Structure 1
Amino acid sequence: MDTLAQLRAGRLAGATRIDLSCGLTEFPREVFDLADSLEVLNLSGNALDALPDDLHRLRRLRVLFCSDNRFTTLPESIGRCHGLDIVGFKANRISSVPAAALPPSLRWLILTDNAIEELPDSLGACTRMQKLMLAGNRLHALPASMAALRQLELLRISANRFEALPEWLPSLPRLSWLACAGNPFDTQAEDAAIVAQSVPHVDWSELTLGEKLGEGASGVIHGATLGAAAQPVAVKLFKGAVTSDGWPHSEMAASIAAGAHPTLIAAQSRIDGHPEGTEGLVMALVDPAFAMLAGPPSLASCTRDVYADEARWTSGTALRIARDIASAMRHLHTRGILHGDLYAHNILWHAQGGGRLGDFGAAWLTGSLDAAQARAFQALEVRAFGCLLEELLERCTDAAPASVAVLKDRCLHPAPAMRPTFAEALSLLQQASSAP
């Protein structure tokens, strides 16, 4: 029996989560029978364009997903659900976000891939907000009230219509993961990066695709071999649609601009001649002994990665990973690139091999910014590195040098101007590694 039939038969009493994706055109009123227990309601993948005015009767509701539906306005009834933590309306047709639709309790709001041109000032009242995903809309500006979002850590505004970034943006004390590519202010920088780089092109016919290695929002990664010598490589084929991070072509631009670095998983070649016109990149194939350092954030952790219970390493291994990632980030910043997603789930690691940083889905180029602006935004990524250091140190099986904890605290300083550069962080980590 499917979930809707079970719901209508009264067989889901006491359920804390239900997922309904079955072509719904109207909200099933039977959901209210779970008002005393329901915490997570997922109505994604239906044909809904409205929610009931009495949605607040679901008094325990914390998470509401309504992505891939037909909403044109964010329902105001959401704003009366005073316990909501997470709201997701990705890939609808939303052009209007009423002030009353945003409950101040929100920590995570997803409005990716809609048609929003303006956000209400009431967004600034959501002072618990940690994660705000707005890529793929028609925004020219953010409300000035958002300067009050002192808890905001992740912001996605790629693939919009920003001619400039808000001056207050880099001063937010906790902002660490920012994606801005695919806006008018940086489009020329992206185009120039693609043209200027001498990255070679590889014809599709020279590649033999192997097993699927992984899949992200922007594309699918396969193992492959290249040329008559059957050189092992990795191939990323882009999906083409806007993602939570922005446009795939922005990722391609940043990957190409990154160039080669020993602790970076960047592009080696662009792919030409795919039979379906799909864009793609050839990358070095990382030794399969390397594993993902952590899993992505969960609904509960919001902005922080989720590590396996058994994730443990020596302080020496932690220092090696930290040095490798600091080196990769110094390289990117020197080349005018912000990674935008410096997270453990984008790092591959091995106890003897250190760390490798990949995934440029949220990366963007700073060529259109002046030097002071670029430094201000680079400081946001230093805070992300401070989060990574904190996570690495928490899982050490022996004591790391005290200087590393001091560096971590400096990276997490609430005043971005007080944080070290990656060049300084790398130097300090090298000193810590060589200390007796």
Structure 2
Amino acid sequence: MHTLADLRAGKLAGITRLTLSADLSELPEEIFSLAESLEVLDLSGNRLTELPADLHRLKRLKILFCSNNPFTRLPECLGQCEQLFFVGFKACKIVNVPAKALPPSLRSLVLTDNCIETLPEAIGDCSHLQKLMLAGNRLRQLPESLARCQRLELVRIAVNDFHELPRWLLEMPALAWLAFAGNPLNDIHTVEPIRQIPWPQLALQKVLGEGASGVIQQAQWRANEEAASLDVAVKLYKGDVTSDGSPLNEMQACIAAGRYDHLIPVLGQIQDHPQGARGLVMALISPSFVTLARPPTLESCTRDTYAGTRLSVSTVKRMAAGIAAACAHLHGHGINHGDLYAHNILWNESGDSLLGDFGAAAFYPDEETGRRLERIEVRAFGILLGELLDCCEASDGEAAGLRELQRRCVQADVMQRPGFAEIERQF
């Protein structure tokens, strides 16, 4: 975090990243003194409703965060920023997205949790667009011109007002990660019974992690006075809209998925929380399991990052087989995971794997749509498999079969990709 005083005193000369949260109602003119260096500008958490028309004077600007400001209109000046590729206006009050507000180099557009009812047809001209985050708005449809964005890989349209998913969206050649829960679509999943666990039976301990959808804590569960205490993990869900959708939709998907070897076991649903919070009790995973990769960076956009991970071909096969089996199980229950990424997978050195984070999961609206959703998720699996192979020490000959499977999974023709049951049989 930087200060307005330091900016005005010239102490920030030459910086490439500026974070300024100072109850601003307008952009300080002194920011333009950084025009030759500034690449990342974070103005989140101010009182801004507009940006200056000459914002393009920041000629090196690539990334702009303006979340939690009372904008009602995406500023048109963004469209003149030649190098700007990431635009983030989350949790503002945006109603209007003008065509002129879309910069020519746009790769990531984050408009989560606003009041948007329509998008301009001009979004179809954003040929570099890879990531489109629109959860928590009032959209009933997407512009058909978006089908021209052939590089679009990740779309979040959860918690809107879609009554059906556009057919052209389900045919997009690069689409791999789609979140759409919380819309008035049909829902053909079967409700699974789940054990109800009274809150007084749980004794919370240390926090294990916190994400957009909730907090996970270690706990002890004692079902009755005669029972021994069991170490478990408790996830209490927040009520806010996340970039993927609604935490309550996530909980429903976790419950519907049931028990399976390559999923984190759900033991029960919390009952009678004193503040009415919703939550799940899950098995406590051994610390020998670690996260497979880090989430995408702003620059990598839709690709996870690996920190020197090296894998044998047998480990790759074992992990890929486990994740394919988990996905076959989910799609067999009419569930689209929506966020099949290495950063949502836990693994150990034996190659055991667990798929987690159901924040983007959604139920099939119908069987035909489900078949297309499965093949979209297969592309995500293919990208994951390609990343694992890039970490693999095997020779080309040893990995030839996996390379061919990977190629089939990411091919442009959606319905020519194999389903997860067929992929599972390849191992």
TM-score (norm 1): 0.94
SS of structure 1 residue aligned to 2:256: helix
Q: Which amino acid aligns with 1:197?
A: E
SS of structure 1 residue aligned to 2:129: coil
Q: Structure 2 CA distance, aligned partners of 1:314 and 1:215?
A: 32
Deviating above 4 A after TM superposition, structure 1's stretches of 4 or more consecutive aligned residues are: none
Contact 2:2 2:18 in 1 (8 A): no
Q: Structure 2 CA distance, aligned partners of 1:382 and 1:409?
A: 11
Q: Structure 2 CA distance, aligned partners of 1:2 and 1:150?
A: 39
Compute the displacement of 1:398 (Å): 2.6
- The match for 2:261 is 262
Cα-to-partner distance string for 1:287-327 (whole Å, 9 max, x where unaligned)? 11100000100011000001112x11211111111011000
SS of structure 1 residue aligned to 2:139: coil
- The match for 2:137 is 137
- The match for 2:206 is 211
Q: Structure 2 CA distance, aligned partners of 1:239 and 1:20?
A: 27
Q: Structure 1 CA distance, aligned partners of 2:11 and 2:368?
A: 60
Q: Structure 2 CA distance, aligned partners of 1:2 and 1:353?
A: 44
Q: Structure 2 CA distance, aligned partners of 1:104 and 1:238?
A: 38
- Find the partner of 1:396 among 392, 395, 399: 392
Q: Structure 1 CA distance, aligned partners of 2:388 and 2:218?
A: 29
Q: Structure 2 CA distance, aligned partners of 1:300 and 1:158?
A: 24
Q: Structure 1 CA distance, aligned partners of 2:18 and 2:265?
A: 40
Compute the displacement of 1:92 (Å): 0.3
Aligned pairs (5 A) from 1:24-423: 24-186=24-186, 189=188, 193=190, 196-227=191-222, 228-309=227-308, 311-366=309-364, 368-369=365-366, 371-399=367-395, 400-423=398-421
- The match for 1:434 is none
SS of structure 1 residue aligned to 2:50: coil
Q: Which amino acid aligns with 2:330?
A: L
SS of structure 1 residue aligned to 2:360: coil
Q: How many residues align?
A: 421
Q: Which amino acid aligns with 2:82?
A: H
Contact 1:255 1:266 in 2 (8 A): no
Contact 1:256 1:266 in 2 (8 A): no
- The match for 1:433 is none
RMSD: 1.3
Cα-to-partner distance string for 1:208-234 (whole Å, 9 max, x where unaligned)? 111111111111111111114211111
Cα-to-partner distance string for 1:96-155 (whole Å, 9 max, x where unaligned)? 111111113100000000000010001111110000000000000000100101000000
Unaligned runs of 5+ in 1: 431-436
Compute the displacement of 1:401 (Å): 3.3
Contact 1:54 1:77 in 2 (8 A): yes
Q: Structure 2 CA distance, aligned partners of 1:105 and 1:231?
A: 53
Compute the displacement of 1:266 (Å): 4.7
Contact 2:3 2:22 in 1 (8 A): no
Unaligned runs of 5+ in 2: none
Q: Structure 2 CA distance, aligned partners of 1:215 and 1:360?
A: 14
Contact 1:266 1:358 in 2 (8 A): no
Q: Structure 1 CA distance, aligned partners of 2:353 and 2:291?
A: 9
TM-score (norm 2): 0.96
Q: Which amino acid aligns with 1:179?
A: A
Cα-to-partner distance string for 1:351-394 (whole Å, 9 max, x where unaligned)? 1251100010000000x22x222111110100000011011111
Contact 2:375 2:417 in 1 (8 A): yes
Q: Structure 2 CA distance, aligned partners of 1:269 and 1:147?
A: 42
Contact 1:240 1:248 in 2 (8 A): yes
Q: Structure 2 CA distance, aligned partners of 1:240 and 1:351?
A: 36
Compute the displacement of 1:37 (Å): 0.9
Compute the displacement of 1:2 (Å): 4.6
Q: Which amino acid aligns with 2:257?
A: A
Instruction: Describe the shift of the 1:2–1:360 C-alpha distance in structure 2 as closer, same or farther (beyond 3 A).
Output: closer
